[in-house]
Amino acid sequence: MAIIVRMPEVLANASEAALQTWMVKEGDSVVVGQPLAEIETEKANVEYDSEVEGTILRLLVGEGDSVAVGDPIGVIAAPGESDVDVDRLLAGAVDDPPAPTEASEDAAPVSIAQTTASSAQAAAPDAASESGERLFASPLVRRLARERNLDLASVAGSGPSGRIVRRDLEGVHQTQSAPRAELTASSSVVPTPGYIDVPHTGMRRAIARRLTESKSTVPHFYVVADCRVDALLELRRQVNEISPRRISINDFVIKAVAKALVEVPEANVIWTEEASRRFDTVDVAVAVSTDGGLLTPVLRGVESLGVATISEQVTELADRARSGRLKQHELEGGSFAISNLGMFGVDEFSAILNPPQSGILAVSAAKQRPVVENGSVVVGSVMTVTLSADHRVVDGALAATWLAAFVRLIENPLALLI
Amino acid sequence: MNLSSAWKLPITFFVENNLYAVSTTVAEATGEPRLSARALGFGIPSWQVDGMDPLAVHLAMKEAEAVMREGGGPSFIEVETYRFFHQNGPYPGSAFGYRTKEEEASWRARDPLDRVAKEMIALGLIDEAGVADVRDQAQKAMLVAIAQLLEPDPDQPGKRRIIPALWPDPGFVNVGIRGDGSELAGVRTLEPTSYTGEVETTKFVDAVAAVMDRRMDQDERIIVLGEDVHRLNGGTNGATKGLSKKFGGRVLGTPISENAFAGLGGGMALDGRFRPVVEFMYPDFMWVAADQVFNQIGKARHMFGGENPVPLVLRTKVAMGSGYGSQHLMDPAGIFATSPGWRIVAPSSAADYIGLMNTALTLQDPVLVIEHVDLYGELGEVPAGDLDYFIPVGKAAVRRVGSDVTVISYLSMLKPVLQAVEQTGIDAEVIDLRWLDRASLDWDTIGESIRKTNAVLIVEQGARGTSYGGWLSDEIQRRYFDHLDQPIERVTGGEASPSISKVLERAAIAGTEEVVAGLELIRRGMGGR
């Protein structure tokens, strides 16, 4: 039986999403887990994977179109199925729209019944594919994957019943890097006199849309402070003498942000239409620059993490962000974000809020500057930070209180190790 | 019996009629309980004598001997005797209730040992003490023999057991199923695929007759046995053309009695003085000869310790496509390949046939040589004037080099396979097995190909059930599991035996179209978009 693919509710409570790019075309055969489309959510661009196997009969939504969650976006015929009346299927589907997951469960037993045409083909793999969890790969492919250390989960099988076969491995590097290749300018640049047009990627569109929306709908205000970081730099030096991994200034900043949010819990809050939502734990988003643009994976429960653990987790999230392997849920949530451009030597900057977060701290470089100490000018290491806050839930006094707490913590960094 | 009568063979059938088959009496089992009466139907002189009287038996045997020595052919002696005990074990049959103690006592009273003693005492040749001595002597001899084999069982007091050291090593279990092929050492081999010398064109079936002619000329032990092999100018297909004229007494046209003449061949092979070449007109007739073919010839060497070779060649022709109907159109390869002892060759060309037949006729094992009616008429090139080369055991031929799939086939299916490969454009590697049995399969060639192609299609013509590819597929998936990129696919005929209707016969067997379908299945399995 053919399956209607519906716009997924990628984000909780989202009512609509935009289909950015189709990754399949009509007539393609797809397997469970194969990406169908890039779907633009408020948070990021996600690849929406097929939950069934079969052949793409029809794509119902154009690239760039925004569609209500649950609306049909495509039709997939079950393996071996032909002669599907798509229009009738869609007409019948309107009244009783099943959730996509239900549809996939319906589909599997039917696909078994329909593969009995060839006795050789109606073997166990079909039956087992019901679960949608097992990955079917030929014995050869499993051996090669072992030898070459390949992750077959990212390989689409083109053999019968979606089995991953030898041919599928021939392009496996391209398969895995294809989305990333599009992001680099060189592969899709059309040279013209005087300028080049780099076509928008889904991610670039998402960044543009979301930040425009944030800057134009969220009332930002800014609070700036200079932090004396001589003690922090010294502490970091000492810590790094004994630490097996290199702890960065940013790791301390993350910890200080978390601690400040614990000390000033009123600031650990986001705006929703009905209420101000105050959180029990501190989830902090960390901006990571990738070739394709900015990603903000979220570090959870930072209030209870040590600096070393924070360092470890940030590195891991950043690595995966840069290799395109972040999961959607890792990009969601958080009440606060940190953007650090210190490594570029900037003196100060301000950041745009990343909704629904209510605060973002723009961290610049720690530099030696003249500072007044006990009435005389001395040389000190200073790092300027700028808090951007959502005035709907954070008033000026609250922002100032929080920032004062942050400055005190970062200037007395031993507290961060407790 | 019929064969011995027809050919006036000097053989005596000596039947000890002990009246019972386990618990069933002869009288229950037949309407003519005089077993000796059967021989009369075949024109064989026959005697029924008291088997409890050694002198009577001796006299009957003297008469039978006279018949044989006079050239009168076979004879038949039925001796009436008795099985004192049950079929096995130390208890009398009466203990099991199928006969009375009185019956047993009446036969005990006729004990031939007692009778001989009584008569000899009456003639004054021995006295009571002498008889007792002889009996004692015999019993002692038995005890000595037993002592060599048995010892007290330490685990079961009062019982004996076979001395543990006398048991064979379990590792011997598969030793001697076939010979080791050392009889082929030093023979001149020739590989037709790489032969570059002078060639001549011959019909396949003429090559069959020619190589047999050559071997019979060189080796006078060779005897050909089969239905009509001596007439019709070389049997029904001309495969033995010219042989009976040239080698008069060595080409024996048999009655329709596969079990009999296969058994005769098996006996000759075990004896070793002759090299029987048995022909089954159609492979399906192996079923009526199954006891001799599978139960005796195939098992004999191993059954008797692996020392006694069974050099026998069994020729038969697959006749699918000839319209001879359901009982004539099987491919025997699958049945023989799954039965112990037999080697199997299936030549696809005249040049291969010559080399493979020479090897078969030199091997000290039973070898099934499968021919095909479709091949008989085909013209092929063979090395000119050379009927003496050998193709080694276990050497397959690659008929086409390719990289997409390994197609394994044999006999008449090579041609449709190559046609189908051409039609589909799939880059198949085509292997002609030549040797089909478990011990002689060319795993080197098969393995090398599978490691390259990662896909296998086994192609054969005949019915699915008794097909050859089943066991081969099983073997391949275990040997090369990690090299397979898709299931091993098979092309075979249908479930039914091809029936006599042309249309149904074609529908029941595999041809080029079916191979094309098989290759397309493989193509789907290769994936790719």
Alpha-carbon distance A168 to nearest alpha carbon in chain B (angstroms) = 6
Burial class (CB in 10 A: 0-12, 13-18, 19+), A233: middle
Whether B258 is catalytic is yes
**pLDDT band of B479, cuts 50, 70, 90:** very high
Beta strands in B184-297 (DSSP E): 199-203, 222-226, 251-253, 275-280
Q: Say if the Cβ atoms of B485 and A141 lie within 8 Å.
A: yes
Burial class (CB in 10 A: 0-12, 13-18, 19+), B158: exposed
Which among A134, A155, A175 is the end of a domain? A134
Which among A134, A160, A188 is the end of a domain? A134
- Supply the Cα-derived Rg of chain B in whole angstroms: 29
Question: Does residue A205 form part of some domain?
Answer: no
Residues of A in contact with B483 (CB under 8 A): 139-140, 143
Q: Are strands A3-6 and B312-318 parallel, antiparallel or unpaired?
A: unpaired
Q: Say if the Cβ atoms of A160 and B524 lie within 8 Å.
A: yes
* Chain A to chain B Cβ contacts (< 8 Å): 60
Same domain, A252 and A363: yes
* CATH architecture for residues B397-526: 3-Layer(aba) Sandwich (3.40)
Residue positions counted in chain B: 529
CA distance A295 to A318: 9
Question: In which residue are the tokens 């549809």 written?
Answer: A103
Residues 6 or more apart whose Cβ sits within 8 Å of residue B424: B516, B519, B520, B523
CA distance B56 to B327: 48
Point out which residues pair with B435 in neighbouring strands.
B345
CA distance B34 to B413: 53
Point out which residues pair with A298 in neighbouring strands.
A285
Q: Which residue, A161, A182, A176, is CA-closest to A30?
A: A161
Predicted pLDDT at A87? 79
The token pair that represents A208 in the structure block:
């543009």
Number of domains in chain A: 2
Q: Is A122 on the interface with B (CB under 8 A)?
A: no
Q: Say if the Cβ atoms of A157 and B527 lie within 8 Å.
A: yes
Same domain, A285 and A387: yes
Which among A134, A166, A197 is the end of a domain? A134
Which amino acid does the sequence have at B143?
L
The model's pLDDT over A277-329, given as tens digits with 9 standing for 90+, comes to 999 999 999 988 887 778 889 999 999 999 999 999 999 999 888 887 788 78
Q: Which residue, B7, B441, B73, is CA-closest to B249?
A: B7
In a 13 Å sphere around the CA of A303, the CA atoms on its Cβ side amount to 16
The model's pLDDT over B48-67, given as tens digits with 9 standing for 90+, comes to 999 999 999 999 999 999 99
Phi-psi region of B21 (alpha: psi -120 to 50; beta: other; left: phi over 0): beta
CA distance B338 to B471: 8
CB atoms within 10 A of CB B108: 13
The token pair that represents B115 in the structure block:
């009778």
* SS3 (DSSP) at B486: coil
CB B334 within 8 A of CB B283: no
- Would you say the CATH fold of B397-526 matches that of B182-383? yes
The token pair that represents B1 in the structure block:
């019996």
Q: Is residue A175 within a helix (H) or strand (E), and if so which, with residue range?
A: helix A172-183
Question: Does residue A321 form part of some domain?
Answer: yes
Q: Say if the Cβ atoms of B485 and A160 lie within 8 Å.
A: no
Q: Say if the Cβ atoms of A141 and B525 lie within 8 Å.
A: no
Task: Provide the angle, in degrees to the nearest 10, between the axes of the packed helices B350-360 and B204-218.
Answer: 30
CA distance A245 to B37: 103
Predicted pLDDT at B126? 96
Residues of A in contact with B486 (CB under 8 A): 138, 159-160, 163, 165
In a 13 Å sphere around the CA of B266, the CA atoms on its Cβ side amount to 22
Predicted pLDDT at A116? 35
CA A291 → CA A6, A179, A362, distances in Å? 31, 12, 21
Residues 6 or more apart whose Cβ sits within 8 Å of residue A224: A348, A384, A385, A386, A387
Which amino acid does the sequence have at B376?
Y
CA distance B74 to B68: 6
- Domain range for A17 is 3-134
Which amino acid does the sequence have at A292?
G
CB atoms within 10 A of CB B290: 16
Residue A84: phi and psi, rounded to 5, are -95, 130
Residue A412: phi and psi, rounded to 5, are -125, 70
Question: Does residue A10 form part of some domain?
Answer: yes
Whether B279 is catalytic is no
Q: Looking at B230, B328, B372, B514, which residue is catalytic? A: B328
Q: Is A236 on the interface with B (CB under 8 A)?
A: no
Predicted pLDDT at A38? 84
**pLDDT band of B108, cuts 50, 70, 90:** very high
Same domain, A99 and A227: no
The token pair that represents A384 in the structure block:
């300027």
The least confident of A64-73, B44-53, B201-210, B246-255 is A64-73
Sign of the torsion angle spanned by Cα atoms B23, B27, B32, B35 = positive
pLDDT in tens, chain A (418 residues): 788 888 887 666 677 788 888 888 888 888 888 888 888 766 556 778 888 888 888 888 888 888 888 888 888 888 877 777 777 777 765 444 444 443 333 333 333 333 333 433 333 343 333 445 678 899 999 988 888 888 888 888 888 888 999 888 886 654 443 333 333 444 444 444 578 878 777 778 778 888 888 998 899 999 999 999 999 999 999 999 988 888 999 999 999 999 999 999 999 999 988 889 999 999 999 988 887 778 889 999 999 999 999 999 999 999 888 887 788 788 888 899 999 998 888 999 999 998 889 999 999 999 999 999 888 999 999 999 999 999 999 999 999 999 999 999 999 999 888 8
CB B453 within 8 A of CB B430: no
Q: Which residue, B275, B204, B209, B269, is CA-closest to B243?
A: B209
Residues 6 or more apart whose Cβ sits within 8 Å of residue B362: B183, B184, B187, B390
Q: What percent of chain B has pLDDT above 90?
A: 95
Burial class (CB in 10 A: 0-12, 13-18, 19+), A126: buried
Q: Where are the domains of chain B?
A: 2-113, 182-383, 397-526
Residue B187: phi and psi, rounded to 5, are -75, 160
Which amino acid does the sequence have at A270?
I
- In CATH terms, the fold of domain B182-383 is Rossmann fold (3.40.50)
CA distance B36 to B79: 9
Question: What would the mean pLDDT of B259-271 be, rounded to a whole number?
Answer: 97
Interface test with B, best of A23, A28, A138, A158 (most B CBs within 10 A): A138
Q: Say if the Cβ atoms of A165 and B529 lie within 8 Å.
A: no
Question: In which residue are the tokens 């596969």 written?
Answer: B258
Interface test with A, best of B449, B486, B490, B514 (most A CBs within 10 A): B486
Query: Hey, what's the torsion of the CAs at B191, B196, B197, B200, to 10 degrees?
Result: 80
CB B469 within 8 A of CB B514: no
CATH, residue A225: 3.30.559.10
Residue A356: cis peptide before it, omega within 30 degrees of 0 = yes
The least confident of A45-59, B4-18, B266-280, B290-304 is A45-59
CB atoms within 10 A of CB A175: 16
The CA-based angle A328-A332-A338, given to 5 degrees, is 120
CB atoms within 10 A of CB B369: 23
Residues of B in contact with A157 (CB under 8 A): 527
Alpha-carbon distance A159 to nearest alpha carbon in chain B (angstroms) = 4
CA A206 → CA A295, A297, A327, B215, distances in Å? 11, 15, 16, 86
Burial class (CB in 10 A: 0-12, 13-18, 19+), A129: buried
Interface of B with A in 476-515 (CB under 8 A): 481-487, 489-490
Residue A52 Cα to chain centre, angstroms: 24
The CA-based angle A210-A212-A213, given to 5 degrees, is 65
CA distance A115 to A121: 7
Residues 6 or more apart whose Cβ sits within 8 Å of residue B465: B495
Q: Is residue A293 within a helix (H) or strand (E), and if so which, with residue range?
A: strand A293-295
Q: Is A140 on the interface with B (CB under 8 A)?
A: yes
CB B433 within 8 A of CB B441: yes
